[in-house]
Amino acid sequence: MSLARTKILVTGGAGFIGSHLVDRLIGSGASVAVVDNLSTGSRGNLHPSATFYGIDTNDPSLSEVFERERPSIVFSLAANTDVPKSVADPLFDFRTLAGTLAVIEQARQHRVERFVFASSGFIYGNTASRPIGEDEPFRPISPYAITKRAIEHYLEFYGDVYGLPFVVLRFATVYGPRQVKGAMFDYIDKLSRGLQAEFYGSGAKTRDYVYIEDAVDAFERSLEVPLADARFRFFNFGTSVETSLMDLYTRIAGILGRLPEPVCMPPRPGELNGYSLDFRRAQAVLGWTPRHDLESGLRKTIRWHRTLAP
């Protein structure tokens, strides 16, 4: 669909994933407003043509933003992304839940034409069936994942009762330039400085890694989802490939010319043993396939990391 002069609101649009999405939308001709409290985002990530509102999604002035901007499309990305923090402080993610519900409610009141929510493959929990399809049972094991799944339930309610058109994108672990938190960034940062990172466990846990450009492609293709068909409300976006943390660390160390000798710490609660996402529904309905393998994505990410000030 053409985005020329389309009014779009992106919550979390100054963050790692959100800022890349904003860049793509503005590059496609859209008029984009960003809501971000900068708790994890950065002004340096903001596209100069984006209209910026430095507020939390829980702020009462959110209604004024919707009234002023009148977006036809909302991308909801504002959230806590720190799973260990959610386990240590289960109430923390409740702010994410309440703030996202505030955005959903404003979208309903202002008759938004499409609401796109960034969910997570973590909602499936530990399952023996992998890669995981969209209809797999849900066993979230952290407040972070519980919050994501709860928001999905609320969207189903708003869709069924109020007719809010929505699409849910369940992402694997997204990585790439501008990411300044998480295990991968920690590995790259410490190995680049001649240090070793910490593992919580043996490094045998696996993840499915999807490069940021492929994730943004997924957001863009979500605008083509046929909203009249409730079967197409939920999509997985991953590579269906599992990589252990030790393998990831070894790859990064190899690119940087370092020895991989991580410091192993006791396992932390609330972490997945392993997962990968089946993306065949996205492939069949939206024509989406990941274009970057892990090696090429890591090299691009490490090149970006080298541009950071010491």
pLDDT digits (tens, 9 = 90+) for 68-124: 999 999 999 999 888 988 999 988 999 999 999 999 999 999 999 999 999 999 999
pLDDT tens digit sequence for 261-288: 999 999 888 889 999 999 999 999 999 9
Domain that holds residue 78: 7-175+210-238+278-283
Q: Which of 53, 144, 158, 187 is catalytic?
A: 144
Q: Does residue 191 lie within any of the structural domains?
A: no
- Average pLDDT, integer, range 209-219: 98
* Total structural domains within the chain: 1
Residue 144 is among the residues annotated as catalytic for this protein: yes
Please give the pLDDT value at position 310: 64
What burial letters (b/e) apply to 104-132, b meaning 16+ CB within 10 Å? bbbbeebebebbbbbbbbbbbbeeeebbb
pLDDT of residue 294 exceeding 70, the answer is yes
Pairing state of beta strands 166-171 and 234-237?
A: parallel
The pLDDT confidence band at residue 227, using thresholds 50, 70 and 90, is: confident
In this prediction, residue 262 carries a pLDDT of 95
pLDDT at 231: 78
Give the pLDDT score at 82.
Answer: 87
Whether residue 201 lies inside any domain: the answer is: no
Mean pLDDT of the chain: 95
**Residue-level pLDDT at 235:** 97
Backbone dihedral region for residue 142 (phi beyond 0: left; psi -120 to 50: alpha; all else: beta): beta
| Rounded CA Rg of the chain | 19
Residue 118 lies in a domain: yes
Mean pLDDT of 211-220: 98
**pLDDT over 70 percentage in the chain:** 99
Please, what sign has the CA dihedral across residues 275, 281, 284, 285? Answer: negative
Q: Which residues pair with 234 in a beta bridge?
A: 168
Residue 140: pLDDT band with limits 50, 70, 90? very high
Q: Is the pLDDT of residue 229 over 70?
A: yes
Above 70 in pLDDT, residue 309?
Answer: no
pLDDT in tens, 162-190: 999 999 999 999 999 999 999 999 999 99
Question: What is the Cα–Cα distance from 283 to 156, expressed in whole angstroms?
Answer: 23
- Flag whether 264 is in a domain: no
For position 51, which CATH number holds? 3.40.50.720
Average pLDDT in the 14-22 region? 98
In a domain, 97, yes or no: yes
Measure the CA–CA gap between 56 and 273, rounded to whole angstroms: 33
In a domain, 26, yes or no: yes
Q: Is residue 273 part of a domain?
A: no
pLDDT higher than 70, residue 56: yes
Give the contacts of 182 (CB within 8 A, at least 6 positions apart): 81, 173, 175
pLDDT at 141: 93
* pLDDT band for position 133 (cuts 50, 70, 90): very high
Phi, psi of 125 (to 5 degrees): 75, -165
Residues 15 and 39 sit within 8 Å (Cβ to Cβ): no
Q: Is residue 223 part of a domain?
A: yes
- Which residues contact residue 284 at a Cβ distance below 8 angstroms, ignoring those fewer than 6 apart? none
Compute the distance between CA of residue 304 and CA of residue 289 in angstroms, rounded to an integer.
24
Q: CB–CB of 145/173 below 8 Å?
A: no
User: Contact 115/167 with Cβ under 8 angstroms?
Assistant: yes
CB distance 9 to 65 below 8 Å: yes
Tell me: pLDDT of 1 over 90: no
